[in-house]
Chain A
């Protein structure tokens, strides 16, 4: 019984130590972005990069980077899935003093001022706050897209006119 207790105590101590070590490693991770302001037009694609660096002398555990998208304006619904189809990246471990750079492709779906930021968290699911980089401020200008009003009369009218003409010709030929 005492042996079992000793093993359980040992396991508890080692798990606390591991958790502390992993927390320390996560604290040594930084996220930097290559651009802080981007101006684009609606529908355009933009690219920015984040570098996740490990400043510790030991490698990190497996990490996950996740891109978040939100609007600064109240009432504007942003669906991040539309903005980027590949928002979660499984980075694996980053060696001591090493870094990984990730390229994010983003499609500007809404107009206005949009915030993009990347959060990095351990894949092990340790309950600790994610490390985030600076926010990329994206300004999306509107573009002149078509006004659909009036297309139906044109879309139906031209073929109808040609159809009438073809029909009229046919009738005239038959009468002759």
Chain B
């Protein structure tokens, strides 16, 4: 990409993953799909923020709780967007019959996976950028905006990395987008299920273990402890273990799976 003039001209070829990422980002954002998802996300946040601020019952929430509610929704839905984009990454190409031409390019499959993962994660970053004005509005006056944004970007990025990797793994092994998206959403629902348990079921060692071991519930619990309970970052840092482990393990597995198992058809046949 960078060319320098002179006798010793050196052409530095950019990393292939960067080229893949650039192409994917163009497709996602200039193609309009990313903006439409961002628009839908902003409408959802607007509804939540409006209800929180004006609805009598919801406005009964303390300001900290309102920020927490909005941020947790933003993290959950933003991660979901990353999952959806990743779940489409390989199975989508396969379904549109464009995977063959992609595989013929001089790009290793690991770099292909990396580039596609980055593009999927850009949806989370865009979702977070959209969240900033809402968090600012809801959190102003209680010195919470900085903490909320910092906690949100850390926890949200870990969860987005975990879910995008999960989506990528599913996508590699799925022949069609329908299978990939259905399976990814099913897994996401299974991961979200413990958040719907009654509070009595979340008590005791078994309940706490379930919350801690699930990266989503653990991450959201951590956000709540910092924003609502006013805990310091270190106080509940053990709740971040499962999001960190899940993000690390699943991104490594996604890289390995992408590097070894991306094929034209599910059963091979390149």
Contact = CB atoms under 8 A, between A and B. Distances in A.
Contact of A143 (B30, B46, B62): B62
Interface in B26-40: 30-32, 35-36, 38-39
A170 B30 CA distance: 9
Contacts of A155: 46-47, 49-50
Contacts of B30: 169, 173
A75 interface: no
Given A145-B60, A159-B43, A162-B38, A154 B137 contact: yes
A6 interface: no
A169 B130 CA distance: 18
B134 interface: yes
B66 interface: yes
Given A150-B137, A170-B32, A144 B142 contact: yes
A165 interface: yes
A166 B35 contact: yes
Interface residues of B, number: 30
Contact of B59 (A145, A154, A165, A166): A145
A152 interface: yes
**Dominant secondary structure at the A interface:** helix
Nearest to A157: B133
Residue in A145, A147, A150, A173 whose Cβ sees the most chain B Cβ within 10 Å: A145
B130 to A, nearest CB: 6
B53 A148 contact: yes
A166 B36 contact: yes
Interface in B195-236: none
Interface in B78-99: none
Contact of B46 (A144, A145, A156, A166): A156
Given A165-B35, A166-B35, A146 B42 contact: no
A45 B46 CA distance: 29
A143 B141 CA distance: 13
B36 A146 contact: no
A44 to B, nearest CB: 10
Interface residues of A, number: 22
**Dominant secondary structure at the B interface:** helix
A158 B42 contact: yes
Given A144-B141, A162-B35, A151 B130 contact: no
Contacts of B174: none
A43 interface: yes
B62 A158 contact: no
A151 B63 contact: no
Nearest to A168: B35
A162 B39 CA distance: 6
B46 A146 contact: no
A129 interface: no
Interface string A162-176: 110110011001000
B41 to A, nearest CB: 9
B35 A146 contact: no
B61 interface: yes
B53 A146 contact: yes
Q: Which 8 A-B pairs have the closest CB atoms?
A: A155-B46, A166-B35, A148-B53, A151-B53, A162-B39, A155-B50, A159-B42, A148-B54
Interface of A: 43, 143-148, 150-152, 154-156, 158-159, 162-163, 165-166, 169-170, 173
30 contacts: A43-B60, A43-B61, A144-B62, A144-B142, A145-B62, A148-B53, A148-B54, A148-B59, A150-B137, A151-B49, A151-B50, A151-B53, A154-B49, A154-B137, A155-B46, A155-B47, A158-B42, A158-B45, A162-B35, A162-B38, A162-B39, A162-B42, A162-B130, A163-B39, A166-B32, A169-B35, A170-B32, A173-B30, A173-B31, A173-B32
Given A146-B59, A150-B137, A162-B42, 13 more contacts: A43-B62, A144-B63, A144-B141, A144-B142, A145-B63, A146-B52, A146-B61, A155-B50, A158-B45, A159-B43, A162-B39, A165-B35, A170-B32
